[in-house]
Structures are given as structure tokens and as C-alpha cells.
Amino acid sequence: MEFVKEFATFLHQNGIIKFGDFTLASGKKSSYYVDLRLVPSYPHQFRRMIKHLQNLISEQIGFDNIDSVASVPTGGLVIASSLAYDLVKPLVYVRSQTKEYGTGKLVEGIVKPGMKILLVDDVATTGGSVINGIKELKKSGAKVTDAYVIVNRLEGADRSLLQEGVTMHYLLDILQIAKILHEQKMIDDVILDKVQRQVQS
């Protein structure tokens, strides 16, 4: 819990999470924006985040149940590659679109039938990009039962992934972040209320 509190504070202090009116890639309106692609610019915090992710995976599913670590570019790929490097596990990634040249494949890296692959991404909203990745990996014969994200936006990704037979785990969710920041007087009641309403809607 100590990590969660410190990390939430760090995200806000460095403008990695911003509150206001934003339009997401999906076209959806949001009362906040979180850009975890900035975290690697702070190597000590990035390292702590990866270590915390490792600990969670170790406790919840165990490293022996992972043959490979996978991600979907770009946000999750930096996290997945650091994790794979630390765990000494192979790295695979799934493109959102096929290449127009070369082999034109979507999955980069070696995937063999029956391989147990752990999917990692930075932020989950509805889970769309993660699900596309899962489907492609399954087409290659891989088994995907678990996915990890850093921030869960609590907007349906858990349910969508469960329909694919995948359990979604996360380091922290947007309500936790907002409540921690509110307790520390970093955000006011209005912002907290907006975040809570967005999650419930």
C-alpha cells in the first residue's frame, strides 16, 4: 500500500496524471488523463514500478506459470520489455496493424502452441487493445489466462477480459489514485466527484 500512495503522488506531482476535460483516443470524454509513457523518464520510479509489478506477479500467479511476456505497442511495450528482461523470459509483442512489408505478421517474436503468455499493458479502459492482442496470441496457439496493467481506469476492461477467459490484475486503479490525492489535498472534492461519476457511468 505504501508503494501505491507514493506512486499516486509521484504521478500527480510530475503531470503524468492530469485532471480536467480530455478526449481519449477512443473519442470518449474523460475528467482525467494518465500518460504512463512518461514514467520511464524517471528511472528510479520506473524501476520501483517494475519491481512492484514483479512482486505482484510472483504472489498472484508465479513466474513458473509464464513462458513469455507479451504486450501491445506502444505504452505497454516498455513495461513488458523491462519485465521480461528482469525475469529472463522471452518477449513477444502484437502489432495493432500488419506491416505493409516483409512478412506482414501481427505477432512479433516466437509463439509456439501451448505457450503460457502473460500480457502486460500500461492502462486499461475498455480493454480493447489488450483483447486484440489476446486474440492474436490465441490464434498462434498460445494460452493467455492473465493480464497485468499499471492503472485500471475501471471502465469495463475487467469484464471484457473475463469474457475472453483472462483475469486482469493491476497495480492501482483510478479511484485509489483520486482518493489518495484527495486525502493529501492535492485535488478537491469537485475533481474527486467527477472521477467517481466517470467510473460509475
Gap between the Cα atoms of 22 and 9, Å rounded: 21
The residue with greater pLDDT, 1 or 148, is: 148
What distance in Å separates the CA atoms of residue 87 and residue 185, rounded to the nearest whole number? 38
- Please compute the mean of the pLDDT values over residues 62-74 and round it to a whole number: 93
Determine the pLDDT at residue 150.
97
Residue type, 15: G
- Cβ(125)–Cβ(153) below 8 Å: yes
Decide if pLDDT at 184 tops 70. yes
When comparing pLDDT for 43 and 107, which is higher? 43
- In the DSSP assignment, the letter for residue 105 is -
Q: Which sign, positive or negative, has the C-alpha torsion 158, 168, 9, 22? A: negative
Rounded Cα gap, residues 160 and 131, in angstroms: 8
Supply φ then ψ for residue 10, to 5 degrees. Answer: -60, -45
Confidence of residue 101 (pLDDT cuts 50, 70, 90): low
Domains: count for the chain:
1
What letter would DSSP give residue 143? Answer: B
Q: What is the CATH number of the domain that holds 107?
A: 3.40.50.2020
- Contact (CB, 8 A) for 92 and 109: yes
What angle is formed at CA 122 by the lines to CA 119 and CA 125, rounded to 5 degrees?
95
The strand pairing partners of 68, in sequence order, are 117
Radius of gyration of the CA atoms of the chain, in A: 17
**Averaged over 51-70, what is the pLDDT?**
96
Q: At a CB cut-off of 8 Å and minimum separation 6, what does 200 contact?
A: none
Averaged pLDDT, 121-125: 92
pLDDT of residue 100: 63
3-state secondary structure of 151: strand
- The per-residue pLDDT for 193 is 94
Q: Which domain holds residue 32?
A: 2-200
Asked whether the beta carbons of 80 and 91 are under 8 A apart, the reply is yes
Amino acid at 96: S
For the four alpha carbons of 140, 143, 146 and 150, in that order, the dihedral sign comes to: negative
Looking at per-residue confidence, does 90 or 25 come out higher?
Answer: 90
